Amino acid sequence: MAKHTIVVIPGDGIGPEVIGAARRVMEAAGLSVDWVELPAGATAIEQGFENVLPARTLAAITAHKVAIKGPVTTPVGKGFTSVNVQLRKKLNLYAAVRPVRSLPGVKTLYDNVNMIIIRENTEGLYSGIENEVIPGVVTSLKVATELACTRIARFAFRYATKQHRKKITVFHKANIMKMTDGLFLNCARRIYEDEYPNIEYEETIIDAGCMKIVQDPTRIDVLLMENLYGDVVSDLCAGLVGGLGVVPGSNIGDEAAVFEAVHGSAPDIAGKGVANPLACIMSGVMMLRHIHEDAIAQRIEKAYDEVLAEGKNLTRDLGGNAGTNQFTDAVIARLK
Ligand code: NAI
């Protein structure tokens, strides 16, 4: 019997290509695993499941506690609620963790970015409570609860401490949204003062904060934000280190964790074999650390760092010509 049972959700668009690559790399690096493959997204409907987030997929994640997931397509302005939003709410995956670091051989404006973005994953404007007041007037409700704000603040300080980080910066707009962002700030400040006074703490209004990130991302260590801000700022920060193809992510709750790249299903390149699988492989590495397979995680990390530094097998988004499989094979060849 394999040591781990992990749910794998290939997803839509480039999902199956990048998830396939991550699986191959983890297996080649020695992970003893039984994959439980289940669908979500448009693929689930195509396969005859009852909806985009089948009960069987949810039940498997609940049972096995860990999943790696490819991106899924969400219709814009109409149609079903995002699978990701549903998944995070139903499994209470309240913390999104997205490390953003400069990579060897990937040329960008900065070469020493090393930050962690922590995003509240269950409420804010992503609560999806929208309503038409009268024709031509619609509203969207921004929800903040003391429970969720305190929970994510405590998670962020605990995570920062475990990762030996020195400073937490909270991005907010409490000058305008005095109650919702005000509550988020108050909760973060309280956790800092009462529980983690040894970590440096700062509060920055998000618009100025974004400008500062672009001017000098090295001043950021750990960033803590509510849902929508975290979604937007993660992509901004991905741009600092080489784009969406190189930034991993995880959605963590007390009972389960789902690992997935920051990028979407990239319909423009789906099925062409050119997607960069690195973000998904890196999400796999985060997952391996979560399940205490640190040695395998380190082996994979070293292998892709070497492939990037060598520069011969880079995918198109990083300025090379390698396809998804060529890059993946190069990483596997470097595993020691
Ligand atoms: P996207 O991230 O799919 O694509 C944005 C751009 O980045 C495209 O030009 C794409 O080709 C490129 N790109 C993304 N990942 C790449 C990779 N691994 N390698 C090379 N290039 C890559 O964002 P977009 O176009 O806004 O969204 C497409 C769909 O994905 C939408 O339906 C959206 O809702 C969904 N989405 C799903 C997510 C998830 O399931 N976690 C996250 C973000 C978006």
* Interacting residues of 290 by C-beta distance below 8 A, sequence separation 6+: 66, 250, 252, 257, 259
188 within domain boundaries: yes
| Residues 41 and 136 grouped into a single domain | no
Contact 266, 13 (CB under 8 A): yes
List the residue whose alpha carbon is closest to atom 12 of ligand 1: 266
Which of 172, 191, 224 corresponds to the end of one domain?
224
Q: Active site residue: 69, 173, 181, 329, which one?
A: 173
| Residues 103 and 124 grouped into a single domain | no
| Residues 62 and 97 grouped into a single domain | yes
Residues 83-104: pLDDT tens digits? Answer: 998 999 999 999 999 999 999 9
Return d(Cα 222, Cα 214) in angstroms, integer: 15
- Cα 269 to averaged position of ligand 1 atoms, centre (Å): 9
204 within domain boundaries: yes
| Residues 34 and 89 grouped into a single domain | yes
| Residues 4 and 151 grouped into a single domain | no
- Cα 164 to averaged position of ligand 1 atoms, centre (Å): 31
- Phi, psi angles (nearest 5°) of residue 181: -70, -30
Q: What is the pTM of this model?
A: 0.95
* Interacting residues of 1 by C-beta distance below 8 A, sequence separation 6+: 34
261 within domain boundaries: yes
| pLDDT value for 81 | 76
334 within domain boundaries: yes
| Residues 195 and 249 grouped into a single domain | no
Return d(Cα 188, Cα 193) in angstroms, integer: 9
295 within domain boundaries: yes
DSSP 299: H
| Residues 101 and 125 grouped into a single domain | no
237 within domain boundaries: no
| Residues 190 and 136 grouped into a single domain | yes
Residues 280-316: pLDDT tens digits? Answer: 999 999 999 999 999 999 999 999 999 999 999 999 9
207 within domain boundaries: yes
CATH of residue 322: 3.40.718.10
Give the structural domain span for 27.
1-108+242-336
What are the E-state strand segments in 41-94? Answer: 66-69
How many structural domains does the chain have?
A: 2
In whole angstroms, how far apart are CA 45 and each of 13, 138, 211, 258, 279?
14, 30, 42, 21, 26
Residues 220-267: pLDDT tens digits? Answer: 999 999 999 999 999 999 999 999 999 999 999 999 999 999 999 999
- Cα 188 to averaged position of ligand 1 atoms, centre (Å): 31
287 within domain boundaries: yes
